[in-house]
């Protein structure tokens, strides 16, 4: 459990800025550390004791869109026209040092690409919905 406790402490430090946007930590139950604002839930996922996968997902707390239930950093990067959005896939981290690096990267990317999420702007969901429909048409 020590590594899980280290993970939670690292998340607390790296995602401290969420508090200034009205987010509060609501859970540290394995495998998630969860933060909520009035509009969104941000879950930092680490598969403790398994594959050691590290990821982040965001969920709107309203039913603004029937098709967008949760999303990650890749789609936020696409909204900012980043061509390398595929690099925002999960990371495998199994040591405290790798956790520190991975969590730091997730926190920086959320701050860089998640400005509308951090501000609670729900219209970002409609933008994501459009992107997903466009991608769906390309692959069908």
In a domain, 139, yes or no: no
- Total domains in the fold of the chain: 1
Question: Is 25 domain-assigned?
Answer: yes
Cα gap 56→72, rounded to integer Å: 6
Closest CA to 43 of 71, 65, 82, 67: 71
d(CA 11, CA 50): 19
Residue 55 CB: number of other CB atoms within 10 A? 18
What pLDDT is stored for residue 57 in this prediction? 95
Q: Is residue 122, in this structure, part of any structural domain at all? A: yes
Q: Are 47 and 112 in contact (CB under 8 A)?
A: no
Q: For residue 137, is it within any domain?
A: no
pTM: 0.88
For the chain (140 residues), the mean pLDDT of every run of 10, in chain order, is 93 98 97 96 91 91 79 87 60 89 94 93 89 75
- Residue 138 lies inside a defined structural domain of this protein: no
Q: Is 31 helix (H, G, I), strand (E, B) or coil?
A: coil
């Amino acid at each position: 459990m020590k590594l899980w406790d280290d993970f939670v402490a690292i998340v607390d430090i790296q995602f401290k800025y969420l508090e200034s946007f009205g987010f509060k930590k609501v859970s540290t139950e394995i495998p998630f550390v969860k933060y909520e604002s009035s509009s969104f839930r941000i879950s930092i996922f680490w598969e403790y004791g398994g594959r050691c996968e590290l990821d982040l997902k965001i969920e709107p707390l309203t039913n603004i869109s029937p098709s967008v239930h949760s999303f990650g950093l890749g789609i936020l990067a696409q909204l900012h026209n980043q061509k390398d959005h595929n690099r925002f896939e999960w990371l495998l981290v199994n040591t405290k040092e790798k956790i520190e690096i991975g969590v730091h990267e997730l926190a920086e990317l959320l701050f860089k690409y998640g400005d509308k999420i951090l501000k609670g702007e729900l219209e970002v969901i409609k933008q994501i919905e459009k992107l997903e429909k466009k991608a769906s048409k390309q692959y069908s």
